[in-house]
Amino acid sequence: MDKQERLEKISEAITELDIDAIPELCKKAVEEGISANEILLNGMAKGMKVVGERYEAGEYYLAELIMAGETMKEGMKILEPYLKTSATRSAGKCVIGTAKGDLHDIGKNVFISLLKAQNYEVIDLGVDVSSSAFTEAVRKHKPNLLAMSALLTTTMGEMEKVIIELKKQGLRDGLKIIVGGAPLTQEYAEKIGADAAAHDAVEGVRILSGWS
């Protein structure tokens, strides 16, 4: 099996929610000399993108989204030691969380995995994060990047509260802010004072790469 076929198999395991197959597939790929970074970006993340598309099309539901996230976690258990050992200098520091009132974290967790693969230090605040918690984390960790996610249109406004609070406390300068989630647009990001919006984790990483 060549490299492309191996990565395709890993991608398929994610899209087909094959939690039992993913660890062995990742192990074999590493043994065959495929880098952990490539397995993550061109295998698992590619599969998660398809899962997201199926969810938006109504072919997959929340249960499938959760299962895909769990499948990815199993693959990450195999890849993480290799991602750490292949790390060079830190690409930056990112504080990340899901906006207050929103409990969705699959997209956020995929984004975190991709950031770690790109050698970012990540401080994950979890879900349902208040503006004060975001602000306190920025003050404490002094990141160069803040990422906020929301899947519900009703929680998008919370992101603006965070940015207002950061400005008020003099913490906005020198901080790049990216917001992510299906309902978000670049127009909305600009309106609330963020630097960029991403529909999914892969697009988010692409935007970050353009900043560095």
- Among all chains, which residue has been given the structure tokens 């930056």? 92
pLDDT at 87 over 70: no
Are 124 and 156 members of one domain? yes
pLDDT score at 187: 95
pLDDT score at 124: 96
Q: Which of 85, 110, 142 is the last residue of a domain?
A: 85
Are 30 and 67 members of one domain? yes
Q: Which of 20, 52, 85 is the last residue of a domain?
A: 85
Mean pLDDT for all residues in the chain: 89
3 versus 211: the higher-pLDDT residue is 3
Are 146 and 67 members of one domain? no
**Sorting pLDDT into bands at 50, 70 and 90, what band is 55?**
confident
Are 76 and 23 members of one domain? yes
Question: Angle at CA 204, nearest 5°, toward 199 and 210?
Answer: 130
**Sorting pLDDT into bands at 50, 70 and 90, what band is 100?**
very high
Q: Which domain holds residue 47?
A: 3-85
Q: Cβ distance 185 to 203 under 8 Å?
A: no
Query: Which residue, 41, 43, 40, 30, is CA-closest to 4?
Result: 43
Mean pLDDT (whole number) for 32-56: 86
Are 205 and 106 members of one domain? yes
Mean pLDDT (whole number) for 98-122: 84
Are 198 and 102 members of one domain? yes
Alpha carbon dihedral 160, 164, 166, 170, in 10-degree steps, equals: 150
**Sorting pLDDT into bands at 50, 70 and 90, what band is 66?**
confident
Mean pLDDT (whole number) for 96-109: 89
The tally of domains found in the chain comes to 2
Residue 78 CA to its chain's centroid (Å): 18
Are 76 and 157 members of one domain? no
**Sorting pLDDT into bands at 50, 70 and 90, what band is 89?**
low
Q: What CATH number is attached to the domain comprising 43? A: 1.10.1240.10
Are 147 and 69 members of one domain? no
100 versus 80: the higher-pLDDT residue is 100
pLDDT at 85 over 70: no
Rounded Cα gap, residues 185 and 206, in angstroms: 16
Are 107 and 173 members of one domain? yes
Are 206 and 120 members of one domain? yes
Are 113 and 197 members of one domain? yes
Q: What CATH number is attached to the domain comprising 129? A: 3.40.50.280
Three-class DSSP labels, the chain: CCHHHHHHHHHHHHHCCCCCCHHHHHHHHHHCCCCHHHHHHHHHHHHHHHHHHHHHCCCCCHHHHHHHHHHHHHHHHHHHHHHHHCCCCCCEEEEEEEECCCCCCHHHHHHHHHHHHCCEEEEECCCCECHHHHHHHHHHHCCCEEEEECCCHHHHHHHHHHHHHHHHCCCCCCCEEEEECCCCCHHHHHHHCCCEEECCHHHHHHHHHHHC
- Among all chains, which residue has been given the structure tokens 């406390």? 169
pLDDT score at 40: 86
Q: Which of 36, 66, 85 is the last residue of a domain?
A: 85
**Sorting pLDDT into bands at 50, 70 and 90, what band is 88?**
low
Are 103 and 202 members of one domain? yes
pLDDT score at 56: 73
